């Protein structure tokens, strides 16, 4: 390091908002040491106020990072550098002493259950990226709470970032600002450091005024130190460190140590016509309709669905044995394409004020547009694509990026559950796993017991999605919809889930698996989906109340012949929807067995092995 840099390193940048001296010592040390390392021009401690938010948005407009959408109230559009559009699994790592702390050691090939980096390699990577990386920029200090401030289930983090986009988005996605610092006092917090990796003056011009450094992007998690370090990407999943990085990867590890669960699950409340209510948590890989289910308008008369959260659930057994869940987030970071009045009317009612849109198309009258919005453009209105070019349908590429997003406050959703911010959480009585399976997997089945349910979660498979960098339609293993988000060894994670059955007095939720996406031989969906999915929820609800009949099959319980309410539905072929083909399931069993043997290897709990063998035996008897 050149000597003059060393001298500068010890100069503390000026604090332009907030008071460093009033912060708890650990928070102050964290900020000061990283300010000396990253060398920003100034430090801004975020208070979360409306006034501050306006200033941040003004800064981004001035920098050309966002533009105001004149058609809506307080809505903004950001277009990113086309190289920075999604989570990048290949550059997302967990740092631990031993590889086996992070992932099982696969029998052959590399692990698909997370990426490990050694402490030495991380040290090198860190030191080539962070010194001086914020020169010419402001370091924003974002104190945030995952979960309602003060809830016994909540956790606090502090994110340091040089991106105003991150500040504005974290204000929507988390509880952020002065109130969090008060709640923190001298308590523990997760340390989050983020930089876009573009010190000023720039070495090369930005694309779309979007700072990022794709060549050096790295998103690293240090569970032992409760730290997250992210460099080079401004995209939400890589830069809003409260989201997947903290709420799943780091939280899953904290949850293992403290005896609870941090899961990639929506939470919904469903009330039957008699006024009885139950809460479900559901895990689906990205782009399988998770947000649509969380905000569903049920087609069944007299039933009501309310949303607690659409993406992440933190769940812990209380003293009475109820599994209590909170949504640690404060907003929705939803995929825009495919969201329409038909697919998700409640999302449409949520997103047209106080929202940041990223990589969607813009209409010439100051609105937004994307594939599957199902709204014809008014005469004379034209489109500019997410690549900032004039767009017409014969362009041959989508107007919005397939992973384009809306970032919107949860409180604006018309069907938020009255208890969505309840500090003690809501009691979960059913857990649903699901995926996008065009063939072979029935509409719904129920696990025989908790161990079988954990096996079903472990064996989840789904068509790959646009939220990560995978291309094309392949059936991928995605256990618990957590494959990209495990914070520690998946075998140990399974053992942790299995251990819930041994909790004294635990009222274990029933476990179900759904597949809305089965197709007939012509490639048409066999099930109408969307609001009609309430019929499947009704059956689950009644199963929990022990009022619905079911019949055992090789893979689990399915609804007995008349148990699924099809009143008012035409042309549903139940036989095809629930067909369990021996040939298909023999292949499925082989795939799952192979995956467990190779990927989980020596860390596969014997209970899962036992469930695997039991399924194989039942399939043989078909």
The Cα 495–Cα 49 span in angstroms is 43
Largest CA distance in the chain: 80
**Counting Cβ atoms within 10 Å, is residue 542 exposed (0-12), middle (13-18) or buried (19+)?**
middle
Q: How many CA atoms lie within 13 A of 44 on its CB side?
A: 18
Q: What is the CB neighbour count within 10 angstroms for residue 402?
A: 19
Q: Which residue in 317, 177, 174, 307 sits closest to 245, CA to CA?
A: 174
As beta bridge partners, residue 335 has 405
| Catalytic pick among 38, 75, 212, 288 | 288
Decide if 88 contacts 214 (C-beta within 8 A).
Answer: no
Q: Which of 318, 310, 312, 309 is closest to 260 using CA atoms?
A: 318
288 is catalytic: yes
Q: Which residues lie closer than 8 Å to 543 by C-beta, 6 or more apart?
A: 446, 510, 550, 557
- Minimal CA–CA distance to 356: which of 74, 83, 162? 74
Q: Could you give the CA distance from residue 102 to residue 550 in angstroms, rounded to a whole number?
A: 40
The Cα 433–Cα 514 span in angstroms is 6
579: helix, coil or strand? Answer: coil
Sign of CA dihedral 146, 162, 488, 454: positive
Residues with a catalytic annotation lie at: 288
């Amino acid at each position: 390091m050149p000597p003059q840099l060393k001298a500068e390193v010890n100069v503390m940048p000026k604090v332009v908002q907030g008071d460093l001296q009033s912060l708890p010592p650990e928070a102050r040390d964290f900020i000061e040491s990283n300010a000396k390392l990253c060398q920003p021009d100034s430090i801004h401690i975020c208070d979360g106020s409306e006034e501050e938010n306006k200033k941040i948005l003004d800064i981004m407009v001035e920098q050309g990072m966002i533009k105001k959408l004149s058609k809506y109230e307080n809505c903004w559009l950001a277009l990113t550098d086309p190289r920075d559009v999604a989570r990048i699994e290949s550059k997302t790592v967990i740092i631990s002493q031993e590889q086996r702390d992070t992932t099982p050691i696969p029998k052959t090939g590399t692990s698909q259950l997370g990426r490990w980096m050694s402490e030495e390699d991380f040290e090198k990577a860190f030191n080539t990226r962070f010194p001086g990386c914020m020169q010419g920029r402001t370091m924003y200090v974002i104190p945030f709470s995952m979960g309602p401030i003060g809830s016994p289930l909540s956790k606090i983090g502090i994110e340091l970032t040089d991106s105003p986009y991150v500040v504005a988005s974290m204000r929507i996605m988390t509880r952020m600002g002065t109130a969090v610092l008060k709640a923190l006092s001298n308590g523990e917090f997760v340390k989050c450091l983020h930089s876009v990796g573009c010190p000023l003056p720039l070495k090369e011009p930005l694309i779309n005024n979007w700072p990022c450094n794709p060549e050096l992007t790295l998103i690293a998690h240090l569970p032992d130190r409760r730290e997250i370090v992210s460099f080079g990407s401004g995209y939400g999943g890589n830069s809003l460190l409260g989201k997947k990085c903290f709420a799943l990867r780091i939280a899953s590890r904290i949850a293992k140590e403290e005896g609870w669960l941090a899961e990639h699950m929506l939470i919904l409340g469903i009330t039957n016509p008699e006024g009885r209510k139950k809460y479900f948590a559901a895990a689906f890989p990205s782009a399988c309709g998770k947000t649509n289910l969380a905000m569903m308008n049920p087609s069944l008369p007299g039933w009501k669905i309310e949303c607690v959260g659409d993406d992440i659930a933190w769940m812990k057994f209380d003293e009475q044995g109820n599994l209590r869940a909170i949504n640690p987030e404060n907003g929705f970071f939803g995929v825009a394409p495919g969201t329409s009045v038909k697919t998700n009317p409640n999302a449409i009612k949520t997103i047209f004020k106080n929202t940041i849109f990223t990589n969607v198309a813009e209409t010439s009258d100051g609105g937004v547009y994307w594939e599957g919005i199902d709204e014809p453009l008014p005469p004379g209105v034209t489109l500019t694509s997410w690549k900032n070019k004039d767009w017409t349908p014969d362009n041959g590429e989508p107007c919005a990026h397939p992973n384009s997003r809306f970032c919107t406050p949860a409180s604006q959703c018309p069907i938020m559950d009255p208890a969505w911010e309840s500090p003690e959480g809501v009691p979960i009585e059913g857990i649903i796993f699901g995926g996008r399976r065009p063939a072979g997997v029935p509409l719904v089945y129920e696990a025989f017991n908790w161990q079988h349910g954990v096996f079903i979660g472990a064996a989840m498979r789904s068509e790959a999605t646009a939220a990560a960098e995978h291309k094309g339609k392949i059936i991928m293993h995605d256990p618990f919809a957590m494959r990209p988000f495990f914070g520690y060894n998946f075998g140990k994670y399974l053992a942790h889930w299995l251990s819930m059955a041994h909790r004294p007095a635990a009222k274990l939720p029933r476990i179900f698996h759904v597949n809305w996406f089965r197709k007939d031989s012509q490639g048409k969906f066999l099930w109408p989906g969307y609001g009609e999915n309430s019929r499947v929820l009704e059956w689950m609800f009644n199963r929990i109340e022990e009022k619905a009949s079911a019949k055992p099959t090789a893979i689990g319980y399915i609804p007995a012949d008349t148990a699924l309410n099809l009143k008012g539905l035409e042309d549903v072929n139940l036989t095809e929807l629930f067909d369990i083909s021996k040939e298909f399931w023999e292949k499925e069993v082989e795939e799952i067995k192979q995956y467990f043997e190779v990927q989980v290897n020596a860390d596969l709990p014997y209970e899962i092995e036992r469930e695997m063998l039991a399924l194989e035996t039942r399939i043989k008897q078909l």
